[in-house]
Amino acid sequence: MAPPDLDRKSALFLDLDGTLLEIAATPELVVVPPALPGVLAHLHHQLDGAVAIVSGRPLGQIDGLLAPFLASAAGEHGVSIRYSDGTLEELPVGVAVPDTWREALNEAVERWPGVRVETKPHGVAVHYRLAPEREAEVWQLVRALVLPDHPWFRLIPAREAVEIGLRAASKGHAVERFMGHAPFHGRKPIFIGDDYTDEAGMSMARRFGGVGLRVAEVFGGDPAQVRAWLTHGMERMDGRPPAAPTCVTP
């Protein structure tokens, strides 16, 4: 499947890790190609602001990684949403993973070298990429903490990780909220993502007459190809002949 051409009526919804950026051993070790913030900023101008980053990371981390680029964004899989005018929305307000759960996870990983806990404002993720042999034990622990019928929280599978997140939020919800506001309203959404949490965003983009693109299927599982497609789209909308299909210059 070939990705569609970008045009000035598009709206871009972009996951971060595994989509714009290569997955790293730990979240803080990701590398942002120096050209990427500029490409995103240029696309943001071309699309009249209709570019949003929709990530499992908190908003502060999104902004820090992509600085100086700053735009609409949804953090923690849609728990926190920032609109183009800077308005912040949190759903549901004031709910976060209990401290007792965080303590139980931190105590467990002390016995599991290579497993790490990533604390977020509302949720918490447990990464076992550096200790894949601990996968079963990690899942056994989080399932004991979060029962399937828990009213507030759910388990969110990720790539060699599992997250305890808010049941009410999803990337699909974030796309729906953005599409109801300028500058996204009335545009054709394109959602690009790489894992389970992105499926809801892709599905919602299709509901609004757009497309959902899986990195594995459309871009060979390679974030460099996603960046290259964005660069070609930017150049095409500028009326410049696109360069040969290579990665954005790191």
Whether residue 15 lies in the annotated active site = yes
Contact 161, 128 (CB under 8 A): yes
Burial class (CB in 10 A: 0-12, 13-18, 19+), 120: buried
Query: pLDDT by residue (tens digit) across 125-168?
Result: 999 999 999 999 999 999 999 999 999 999 999 889 999 999 98
Look at 25 and 205; give whichever has higher pLDDT. 205
| Structure confidence at residue 244 (pLDDT) | 46
Contacts 24+ apart (CB under 8 A), 218-222: 218/1, 218/2, 218/3, 218/192, 219/3, 219/192, 221/194
| Structure confidence at residue 248 (pLDDT) | 35
| Structure confidence at residue 245 (pLDDT) | 42
The rounded percent of the chain whose pLDDT value lies above 70 is: 96
d(CA 238, CA 42): 10
d(CA 236, CA 122): 40
pTM of model > 0.85: yes
Query: pLDDT by residue (tens digit) across 21-35?
Result: 999 988 889 999 999
Is there a shared CATH topology between the 10-91+169-238 domain and the 99-166 domain?
no
Q: Checking phi first, is residue 246 left (phi over 0); if not, alpha (psi -120 to 50) or beta? A: beta
For the domain bounded by 99-166, which CATH number is listed? 3.30.70.1020
Query: pLDDT by residue (tens digit) across 49-96?
Result: 999 999 999 999 999 999 999 999 999 999 999 999 999 998 877 789
Q: Checking phi first, is residue 208 left (phi over 0); if not, alpha (psi -120 to 50) or beta? A: alpha
| Structure confidence at residue 240 (pLDDT) | 67
What six digits make up the tokens of 175? 């796309």
| Structure confidence at residue 247 (pLDDT) | 38
d(CA 126, CA 140): 12
Confidence of residue 189 (pLDDT cuts 50, 70, 90): very high
Check if CATH label 3.40.50.1000 holds for domain 10-91+169-238: yes
Domain boundaries, the chain: 10-91+169-238, 99-166
Q: Which among 5, 7, 15, 238 is annotated as catalytic?
A: 15
| Structure confidence at residue 239 (pLDDT) | 83
